[in-house]
Structure 1
Amino acid sequence: MYNPRRRRTQIWRRWRRLCSRLLSVLGFPLQHLKPHTLPGSKKKQSFGAIKASLAKTEVALLRIGTRGSPLALAQAHETRDKLMASHPELAEEGAIEIVAIKTTGDKILSQPLPDIGGKGWFTKEIDEALINGDIDIAVISMKDVPTYLPEKTILPCNLKREDVRDAFISLSASSLAELPAGSVVGTASLRRKSQILHRYPSLKVEDNFRGNVQTRLRKLNEGVVQATLLALAGLRRLSMTENVTSTLSIDEMLPAVAQGAIGIACRSDDEKMANYLASLNHEETRLAVSCERAFLETLDGSCRTPIAGYASKDKDCNCIFKGLVASPDGTRVLELQEKAHTISKIWFQWGRMLAKNFYLEQVQASLILE
């Protein structure tokens, strides 16, 4: 038989348990709450206040935007961990949110990179999310960042650079030199393609070998290609170095500009985020990357031009720069190596000067690549 009083008591007990759980999240036990203290209208008001308070606590203090690949997410988590270690307020649970953003470059995998417009396709949607306020900072592989930055954004931070070398991976050979004539090497990088064909013209290159690290390793295991080259830095960040057959030296394969470096961008008017990022910046990496990017920018490099560049310091603090420009088929390769005792703050200008001098020398010799 229906008992209104009993029914009201059941409803009250259920509501009380729900409120107790919600308030416990906020740190307020519901030990002394009684039915007569919360009439119907007040119950609604209090429950609404509880929900509003709970929602407020779930809003992240900092949102990290990144691509959704395993490597990109690993880099975002590395950044998150460093921020949490440097700033106690960001170490609280839920204070940092990682937002995965699918870019045009991630969606179009059936075409080589030069055919879809180059590097900007891996950052365009992330840049838009940053400018629109959907994220607070953007974590990006520096080699994917165009030589220009969008308006209203700055890139004040580079994490300490990982190993810049390329890894050789094969199931049938220990090095490029050991691959039989006609073997196919998979790489979507024109830089790698041109250097491979220049040194080993008997090999073939599959230049639409795209996808994340896991996808490319799967294609290798399926026999689509006999070998591939991947950035050692990425394999280390993914804890996948057990797949490496051998590591190519800088002289064997000059790395991409900014390879192994992570960049973190924020809005130019966001002083709070800029201060957070300042604590993570590795200045030597930032200077070296700025030198390499100045070299690339001055030569008007893009994904359509095989260009490599690497700036480093020797034990005497001299700046060493190695650069390369090649034809896509590897038949022509122009190389540059310079050493200077530069003041750190002018690395950027030095990179630009090297590129201009390099260009003029090759024009005079009628060897500059078109």
Structure 2
Amino acid sequence: MSDSRLLRIGTRNSPMALAQVERVRAMLADRHPEVTVDVMSMSTSGDRWHGDLAALGGKGAFTKEVDAALLAGDVDLVVHCVKDVPGDRPTPAGTVMAAYLTRDDVRDCLVHPGGLRIEQLPAGTRIGTSAVRRVAQLALHWPNLMPVAIRGNANSRLAKLDAGGTYDALLLAVSGLQRIGQADRITHPIDVDRMVPAVGSGALVLQCRDDDTSTRDLAASLSDPRTGQEIVAERTMLHVLQGNCHSPIAALARTEPDGRLGLRARVISLDGKTVLDVHEWAADPITLGTSVAAALLRQGARDLLDLPAHESA
């Protein structure tokens, strides 16, 4: 590109979302200095609602207003956390996932005021999390700990922990804390083989209108192909399972040195007593995701996923 242009980027107005847009702005400034960025931030229903996300349609509550602005032509590009994008329904008609940025740290972490690791916590420690994936894996590995529901963005959760009285520690995403400049709060990054991450953990996606070829090309220039392959594998698995944010599903795809993709996925009951694990490899991400989902279904994943929905965040 040689001519100057304005790119309007839409995003949630949370501190983390705004930090993510700044990352995109910096990448554009480095690779496309002719592009001027104008940020349009907005509050979403998921940000405003403090009850069970199921009442708002789950993770779509964090994206639908931003997607609506994109479809209306108010913005040219939107930035989403991949794990906020619903996996049980298609991308909104008329839009396309144009780029996946290089993936950040995918791990969950413990935040404890006293600096303890998760295995050092005394029985009955109250852990702030509402994500069923985390609740189920806590029950599997650390059944003596007590998950306590919590909502709000990472900053507000840290504030609730610091206020005392309700939570003794939190489970949060390493990448999220890094993005908001709170990496020093991380007490214990938990190994992915113990706490398998959420689908799309650590990844950002750039979404634009399908017919906006110039913006598609601009976004594609920022894309990391390796991350894209991994996310497609994970989200294909999630789509085949028809999983959503209320489903106890965990997955992580990783690119092997020989170029093959490996995908490990887990479906687990909330009490941690039933664990379905699959780990397969393939060259094609859609084939891999489909195959892993089919293997989980053969093990009985449908029975676990059809249980009543629980809150997640």
Q: TM-score, normalised by structure 1?
A: 0.78
Q: Which residue of 2 aligns with 1:149?
A: 91
Q: Which residue of 2 aligns with 1:25?
A: none
How far apart are the structure 1 equivalents of 2:158 and 2:142? 22
Of 17, 34, 37 in structure 2, the residue corresponding to residue 72 of structure 1 is 17
1:353 aligns to 2:291 (yes or no)? yes
| SS of 1:228 mapped into structure 2 | strand
Residues 361 and 328 of structure 1, relative CA distance in 2, 3 Å threshold: closer
In structure 1, the gaps of 5 or more residues are 1-58
Distance 1:220 1:368 in 2: 32
Q: Paired residue for 2:64, among 119, 124, 127?
A: 124
Show CA shifts across 1:179-225 (max 9, x none).
21111100121111111112222221112x11111111111112221
The one-letter code matched in structure 2 to 1:354 is: V
Q: Distance in 2 between matches of 1:315 and 1:368?
A: 34
CA deviations over 1:141-185 (Å, ceiling 9, x no partner): 000011220000001101100010111111235222222111110
Q: Which residue of 1 aligns with 2:155?
A: 214
CA shift, 1:262, in A, is 0.3
Per-residue CA shift, 1:113-134, capped at 9, x if unaligned?
2343211100000110000001
Q: Structure 2 CA distance, aligned partners of 1:106 and 1:369?
A: 26
Secondary structure of residue in 1 paired with 2:217: helix
Instruction: Give the match's secondary structure for 1:61.
Output: strand
Q: Which residue is 1:264 aligned to?
A: 206
Counterpart residue number, 1:248: 190
May I ask how many residue pairs the two structures share in their alignment? 300
CA spacing shift, 1:265–1:68, aligned 2, 3 Å = same
Report SS of the residue matched to 1:298. helix
The gaps in structure 2 that reach 5 residues or longer are 307-313
Q: What's the CA shift for 1:319?
A: 2.1
Q: 1:327 aligns with which of 261, 264, 269?
A: 269
Structure with higher helix content: 1
Does residue 337 of structure 1 match 2:275?
no
Show structure 1 runs of 4+ deviating over 6 A.
none
Which secondary structure does the structure 2 equivalent of 1:151 belong to? Answer: coil
Provide closer, same or farther for how the CA distance between residues 305 and 81 of structure 1 changes in structure 2, counting only shifts above 3 A.
Answer: same
- Residues 1:200 and 2:145 aligned together: no
The answer to whether the 8 A contact 2:137-2:195 is kept is: yes
Deviation (angstroms), 1:369: 5.0
| Native 8 Å contact 1:67 1:101 kept in 2 | yes
Residue number among 108, 127, 137 corresponding to 1:166 in the alignment: 108
Q: Whole-Å Cα distance in 1 between the matches of residues 54 and 5 of structure 2?
A: 38
Mapped contact 1:113–1:188 kept (Cα < 8 A): no
Residue correspondence of structure 1 range 295-306 to structure 2 within 5 A: 295-306=237-248
Query: What is the Cα-based RMSD across aligned positions, in Å?
Result: 1.8
Residue 232 (structure 1) aligned with residue 174 (structure 2): yes
Is this contact kept in 2: 1:305–1:328, CA < 8 A? no
Q: Which has the higher contact order (CA 8 A, sep 6+)?
A: 2
Q: TM-score, normalised by structure 2?
A: 0.91
Equivalent residue, structure 2, for 1:133:
73
In structure 2, what is the equivalent of residue 101 of structure 1? 42
What SS does the aligned partner of 1:180 have?
A: coil
Change (3 A) 1:107 1:356: same
Q: Compute the displacement of 1:360 (Å).
A: 1.7
Per the TM alignment, residue 331 of structure 1 is displaced from its structure 2 partner at its CA by 3.0
Q: SS of the residue aligned with 2:178?
A: helix
The answer to whether the 8 Å contact 2:279/2:292 transfers is: no
Distance (whole Å) between structure 1 residues aligned to residue 272 and residue 195 of structure 2: 13
Mark the CA change 1:328 to 1:361 in structure 2 (over 3 Å): closer, same or farther.
Answer: closer
Between the aligned partners of 2:137 and 2:80, the Cα distance in structure 1 is 26
Structure-to-structure mapping, 1:11-22, within 5 angstroms: none
- Give the % identical residues: 37
Question: Which protein has the larger Cα radius of gyration, Structure 1 or Structure 2?
Answer: 1
Residue 86, structure 1, aligned to residue 24, structure 2: no
Matched letter for residue 176 of structure 2: G
Shift of 1:233: 0.8
Residue type matched to 2:25 in 1? R
